[in-house]
Chains A and B, each alone.
Chain A
Amino acid sequence: MALLEVQHLKKYFATQKAVDDISLTIEKGSIFGLLGPNGAGKTTLIRMITGIFYPDEGTIRLDGKPFDPVNDVRDIGYMPEERGLYKKMKIGEQTLYLAQLKGLSKSEATRKIKEWFIKFEMESWWNKKVEDLSKGMQQKLQFVTTVLHEPKLIILDEPFSGLDPVNSNLIKDEIFNLSQKGATIIFSTHRMEQVEEICDHIVLVNKGKKILDGTVKAVKQDHKENLYSVGIDPMISLPEQQRPFDVVHSEAHRMIVRIHEGNKPNDVLQYLLQNGAAVNAFNEILPSLNDIFIKLVEGTPVTRQFQNINA
């Protein structure tokens, strides 16, 4: 069942169509990757889903009901890319304040904060101020404030920026953990290796439009270029005649081939064996999401902005 259904969402600003007719569905309990270059409209889309902006057109349904920005904030946890905390405020107090703003009672919020602080080994932070924390520690605290009220929908915009590998893994494990407990997670990023690792389903937006939608596996299949890696030892010279592939790249004991349209991997093997090649490895090369991303976005003027610059 879908937790979030977005239909024909539009938001136009004076100078650009920030979100131009985007529809998407996010299954309950899934980890959803929202990808796109800077300025593609991700943040505007998220701001509509979190109730910060009203859409010009289109509908948002949360958990089967029309989205109500005032009351549904309780069910949403949002960590924006541009994030921060009150620097001079004590950490315990601040976390309590943010949780109460989400609608938790004071006692409930206090209990949950203590649980999370113990889990993340942050007990000693209660009376410290945010300005006393390192950037990584602040990110951890920020994550806690986002998920503390146990929202059904968690939206994380670049959650790993500024984190070292140890804390990155800690947050990553927690994302899986929350997903297992039934939370739905929208994960917005430029970092494709993380998307491949974490997400079930992805959507790629560019210039306000959706240009890709599917599971990670399906997307890769759709964009594969019939590339195979073949290991041959010792390498021999192969006749050009009736060769069912082109050689894209070749090394001492390995080459990368692109199979011709209409041929199958078996045809390649047959050809190689007939020509007396000793094949010791044969596997398909699927494109990385990074490659797909670049291929789809390339050529549009915003491509050059495609880099992680928020760190």
Chain B
Amino acid sequence: MRKISLIIKREYLTRVRKRTFIIGTLLFPLLYMALIFGTGYIAEKSRQNLNVAVVDSSGYFTESMLAKENMIDKSSTLSLVPKAGPGFNFDSAGYDAYLIIPPLNWAKGDSSLQLKASKSYGPGSTSIVEAKLNRIWDRIKNDSLDMDEAKQVVFSSSRLNLHFTNTTDPHADAKTANGIGYACGFLIYFIILIYGSQVMMGVMEEKTNRIAEIIVSSVKPFQMMLGKIIGIAMVALTQFLLWIVFVFVIYNVTKASGGNMSTTNNLVGSVQAIFTSVNMPVVLFMFGFYFLGGFFFYSAIYGAIGSAINEDVREAQSLSFPVTMLVIISIVLMTSAIQDPTGPVAVWASIIPFSSPIVMMARIPYGVPGTVPYWQLGLSMGLLIAGFIFTTWFAGKIYRTGILMYGKKPSWKEMLRWAFRRN
């Protein structure tokens, strides 16, 4: 036991102390924040105030209505222009765009207008004009129906909204559950691929460095493999905990500073919504379980592959391809499971060990035991534990032979023979 802990300590410290780990851990949340704030900022910046000429053929639009709207929202200007001849140039008259309102026909209900300009403008700019036109249009409709204030309130409030509630788990909100499910599934997917290949490369390094035989003359090969897997799992866990701490700190700082940017408010609001709408302790605990379970399940196989290959990275790719394929299939199954979290594909893919870490994590935010009954969760967890014990045992057998074997790349068939050999 003491020897395994020595190996775990070495694997952990050499990785955590590496500059790439520190930079990666710091940079990822910063990039993430930059993405969120940056897109908001760029959208804000790229919005232009348009000066629009309105040519009215319907006779409903009046100068006073436009002026009133222009007073309320100054981000764009609408001005009524008398019907001009074909030679009239909007650009030289100082307008960015013009719009012609055709003679209106109530029965036909034609509501599509053309905004024309000599340049292109993004939806951020035109949507303001559209909103303004619609407010004027509402007023025109109200006026033509002779509606007073009270009638107008009744008319505009008559919209029905459908909201979904899970009766067994009132916390589960379908929309946030969907988002959390996606996030968890993809995180586990990335962990398995990134840290799984770290296990593979680590084992390969020990083999090509020729230090493997020196280590196995002190410890059992199985201890050596297990120490590496656990050490790297702890590196992944550390990175996660740091990220959670970062998010927590950033969240509290932005909340405390009460930023006036609408994107900040949206972010704080949505984080708050996530924490209140989903059973967070269950999700976090299960994430920890499936994260470790999935990692152990796959990294043992990646370790075995690392022990079988030599210096050549192409050998690593060709041997690990089938395993990587399983991970990718899992993420495909996950995207279908998240649309229909109680369907047969979702249920079985979340129980079978190779896909369960990713698929089950997409289902759990929808609610336990509402969407995921206890028997499914229990079976899935039990099978995953059995699964990673099996892959670790199996990989240990291959590892023991492979780590001391130099020369040509073995096939999967040969590796299976190593695994089931008596000694």
Which residues of A pack against B, CB within 8 Å?
14, 47, 50-54, 56, 70, 73, 76, 78-80, 82-89, 97-98, 100-102, 145
Contacts and interface: CB of A to CB of B under 8 A. Distances in A.
A78 B209 contact: no
B95 interface: no
Interface residues of B, number: 21
Contacts of B213: 52, 78, 80, 82-83
Nearest to B216: A52
A84 B217 contact: no
Nearest to B224: A101
A70 B10 CA distance: 21
Given A97-B10, A100-B6, A76 B214 contact: no
Contacts of A50: 217
Contacts of B423: 53-54, 56
B89 to A, nearest CB: 71
B218 A98 contact: yes
B34 interface: no
Nearest to B10: A97
Interface in B208-260: 209-211, 213-220
Interface string B12-39: 0010000000000000000000000000
A85 B205 CA distance: 10
24 contacts: A14-B417, A47-B404, A51-B217, A52-B216, A53-B423, A73-B219, A78-B214, A80-B214, A80-B217, A82-B210, A84-B209, A86-B206, A86-B209, A86-B211, A89-B14, A98-B215, A101-B3, A101-B6, A101-B7, A101-B215, A101-B218, A101-B219, A102-B218, A145-B214
A78 B6 contact: no
Contacts of B404: 47, 52
Given A82-B406, A100-B6, A73 B218 contact: yes
Nearest to A51: B217
Contacts of A84: 209-211, 214
Q: When A and B form their complex, which 9 residue pairs have the shortest distance between CB atoms, in order from nearest?
A: A84-B210, A101-B218, A84-B209, A80-B213, A78-B217, A84-B211, A82-B210, A50-B217, A54-B423
Nearest to A12: B423
A87 B214 CA distance: 14
Contacts of B219: 73, 101
Interface string B189-208: 00000000000000000100
A126 B389 CA distance: 40
Contact of B217 (A54, A73, A86, A89): A73
A151 B220 CA distance: 19
Interface string B159-201: 0000000000000000000000000000000000000000000
A88 B14 contact: yes
Given A73-B219, A86-B211, 4 more contacts: A51-B217, A85-B214, A98-B218, A145-B214
B214 A98 contact: yes
Contacts of A97: 6, 10
B375 to A, nearest CB: 42
B408 to A, nearest CB: 13
A86 to B, nearest CB: 6
A56 B422 CA distance: 10
Nearest to A88: B14
A83 B211 CA distance: 6
B209 A85 contact: yes
A82 B217 CA distance: 13
Contacts, number: 59
Contacts of A85: 209, 211, 214
Contacts of A54: 423
Interface string B381-423: 0000000000000000000000010100000000001000001
Contacts of A79: 214
Contacts of A101: 3, 6-7, 215, 218-219
Contacts of A83: 210-211, 213-214
Instruction: Point out which of A53, A76, A101, A102 has the most chain B C-beta atoms below 10 A from its C-beta.
Output: A101
Nearest to A84: B210
A86 B211 CA distance: 7
Contacts of B14: 86, 88-89
A60 to B, nearest CB: 15
Interface string B274-291: 000000000000000000
Nearest to A76: B217
Contacts of A70: 220
A76 B216 CA distance: 12
Contacts of A89: 14
Given A97-B6, A97-B10, A100-B6, A87 B217 contact: no
Nearest to A101: B218
Interface string B22-58: 0000000000000000000000000000000000000
A39 B210 CA distance: 19
Contacts of B211: 83-86
A101 to B, nearest CB: 4
A50 B406 CA distance: 19
A51 B216 CA distance: 9
B423 to A, nearest CB: 5
A51 B400 CA distance: 12
Nearest to B421: A14
Nearest to B414: A14
Instruction: Point out which of A51, A52, A70 has the most chain B C-beta atoms below 10 A from its C-beta.
Output: A52
Instruction: Point out which of A82, A83, A88, A89 has the most chain B C-beta atoms below 10 A from its C-beta.
Output: A82
A47 B210 CA distance: 15
Contacts of A102: 218
A89 B18 CA distance: 11
A287 B79 CA distance: 116
Nearest to A85: B211
B217 A52 contact: yes
B202 to A, nearest CB: 10
B419 to A, nearest CB: 14
A255 to B, nearest CB: 50
A85 B6 CA distance: 16
Interface in B361-393: none
B401 to A, nearest CB: 10
Contact of A87 (B209, B215, B406): B209
B62 to A, nearest CB: 78
Contacts of B10: 97
Contacts of B220: 70
B296 to A, nearest CB: 23
A102 B215 CA distance: 9
Contacts of A98: 214-215, 218
B13 to A, nearest CB: 9
A61 B406 CA distance: 30
